[in-house]
Amino acid sequence: MTQDDDQAFALEISVPDEPVFGQIDSLRMQQIVINLLNNARHALDGKGKIAIHLYEKDEERICIDVLDSGRGFQSMNSNMCSNHFIEAKTKS
């Protein structure tokens, strides 16, 4: 369990047994993964689970999936998923 801002969540990490190699901008990739993890953490209402899965899609692509057990999108917001800088959060 990870404790942060009084919000506990389980973190599951899944990586291949063998090393995965790719040509990436490591700083940019770090920023992307941190952003995805922060988004997943904010989607959790209290306790929940965040899972990170790293795998080779094929010989030329590596995938990182970040999944959370948060509330998800309302159907009316699903068409906004491809828009940059859009959030489906409701203000309290």
CATH 3.30.565.10 fits 2-73, yes or no: yes
Question: Is the pTM here over 0.85, yes or no?
Answer: no
Per-residue pLDDT for the chain (92 aa), expressed as one digit of tens each?
A: 444 555 688 999 999 999 988 889 999 999 999 999 998 888 887 789 999 999 999 988 999 999 999 877 665 555 655 565 556 665 55
Residue 34, φ and ψ in degrees, nearest 5: -60, -45
Domains of the chain, residue spans: 2-73
Tell me if 69 sits within 8 A of 29, measured CB to CB: no
| Residue-wise DSSP of 51-85 | EEEEEEEETTEEEEEEEE-S----GGGGGGTTSTT
